[in-house]
Amino acid sequence: MKAHLPAATGARGLAFILATAVAASAVAPEGESSGAHAVNLIRIDGAIGPATASYVERAVRHATEGGARCLVVQIDTPGGLLDSTKEIVQSFYGSEVPVVVYVAPTGAHATSAGCIIALAADVAAMAPHTSIGAAHPVELGGTGEGKPDSIITKKLENFTVSYVEAIAAKRGRNVEWAAAAVRDSASVTAEKALDLKVIDLIAPDLPSLLSQLEGREAGGVVLRTASARVVEIPRLARERVLQALWRPEVIFVLMLIAIYGIIGELSNPGAILPGVAGAIALILAFYLASILPVSTAGLSLLALAVLLFVVDLFAPTHGVLTVGGIVSFVLGALLLFEDAGPAFRLPLTMVLPAAVVTALFFVFVLGAGLHAQRLPARVGREALPGTTGEALTRVGPDSGWVLLDGETWHARSGDTVERGQEVIVVAVEGLLLRVKPVTTEVP
């Protein structure tokens, strides 16, 4: 027997289901754009690198596929790599949705690479009391002596000037100021940037920004953002990990782990764990250093410091070489990322403790390991001379048997040793011990 619902009840049920579906679609999960009703947002903090470029490219693709009204890129950065900046600019140019770069919050800055990224956006905005500029290139090649080659420097500067001028001209911004930001490291506040037509508007917060974007034409479309829902696109786990690792402090710590681990393994063979940890840290340091420019002079000074620490363990210099190693270590650490620019230099508050810890490691840990290697053998046949045992039988020139550390040995003695008498091992001849009574002076 089948039950039949009244027609009115079925209609009400259908209406309820449709209403529930509409309500569910209006509250999309975080990280999903709801078509033309959403504004996507990403936040860029810290240095611009490969992880940042990957994040921006994915966000542009996500916003385009989701039909977002625009993509807001909030930045606060001291700069970064030019190659990664170029990738981000190309992502902006290829975006099918308008891209809005917003320098925020108050006190933030978009310098160097951040300045170029802001100029490349369809709409450039800043929060009050922020700054933009200082886009002079700092990723300069070296001459092998730690100093940038003047010809290479000039070529890179000229290229960056023309590159920034092209970006400013494409977006209708102040081309002369853009060139000055590269050549003269010009930097201005948000208020001055608006007067100079470097940016398009100033907004104290995100709701104000969306309100001011309402009705503005950008990227060939008219923005409707006043009532749009903001959906932030989070970083992927791999992007967060790479961004966290891609820091000068992390590379420096990895180098220290590599030094401690490898040298610790060499001084204590068979420990295994220090060697494995040091090898992994060294590979990671090399990989990250291939992305972030590392100074040859800094590496040379660090290598010299390690050499001085090791030599001082063998040479009676009363710590003079250790002091020299500390000085060399500090200078090398400070110069290690000199070619990458001010945003990537190691702070002195990190360098000095690292120098002291490294010196103590070589003096105590490595010194103790080397001292242990020079000690006489404590196990095996080499450790038997000087140990004492008990005669199990009479021992003389014709040999006998002795008990030594729970083991029975064939023994011979130049003096007669009675059963039960204590003996001392003089030498080991194959599987035969040469012993003396403990009352006999051992030559």
Give 90-130 pLDDT, tens digit per residue: 999 999 999 999 999 999 999 989 999 999 999 999 999 99
> What per-residue confidence (pLDDT) applies to 250?
86
* Neighbouring residues of 239: CB distance < 8 A, sequence distance ≥ 6: 51, 54, 55
Classify residue 165 as exposed, middle or buried by CB count within 10 Å of its CB (0-12, 13-18, 19+).
Answer: middle
- Of 61, 62, 6, the closest CA to residue 34 belongs to 62
Q: Residue 93 carries which side chain, given as an amino acid letter? A: Y
Is pLDDT above 90 for 356? no
The verdict on whether omega for the bond into residue 78 sits within 30 degrees of 0, i.e. cis, is no
Residue with tokens 């290829």: 94
| Predicted model pTM | 0.65
Give the C-alpha separation, 393 to 110, whole Å.
91
Q: Residue 162 carries which side chain, given as an amino acid letter? A: S
* Neighbouring residues of 92: CB distance < 8 A, sequence distance ≥ 6: 60, 99, 117, 120, 121, 122
Distances (CA, A) of 236 to 28, 99, 148, 239, 270: 19, 21, 37, 5, 39
User: What confidence tier does 225 reach under pLDDT thresholds 50, 70, 90?
Assistant: very high
407-411 average pLDDT score = 84
Mean pLDDT rounded to a whole number for the chain: 80
Please give the distance of CA 155 from its chain centroid, rounded to a whole number: 30
Q: Please report the beta strands in 325-385, taking only residues with DSSP state E, as ranges in sequence order.
A: none
Q: Please report the beta strands in 46-186, taking only residues with DSSP state E, as ranges in sequence order.
A: 70-76, 99-103, 109-111, 123-126, 131-133
Higher pLDDT residue, 190 or 11?
190
381-437: in CATH 2.40.50.140: yes
Token duo for residue 295: 């100074």
45-72 average pLDDT score = 92
* Span 256-278, pLDDT tens digits: 898 888 877 776 666 788 888 88
234-243 average pLDDT score = 86
User: Out of 3.10.20.30, 3.90.226.10, 1.10.630.10, 3.40.50.620, which CATH number does the structure's domain 30-240 have?
Assistant: 3.90.226.10
* Span 277-333, pLDDT tens digits: 888 988 888 877 766 777 888 888 888 988 887 777 677 666 688 888 888 988 888
**Annotated domain spans of the chain:** 30-240, 247-374, 381-437
Give the C-alpha separation, 165 to 172, whole Å.
10
> What per-residue confidence (pLDDT) applies to 5?
37
User: What confidence tier does 368 reach under pLDDT thresholds 50, 70, 90?
Assistant: low
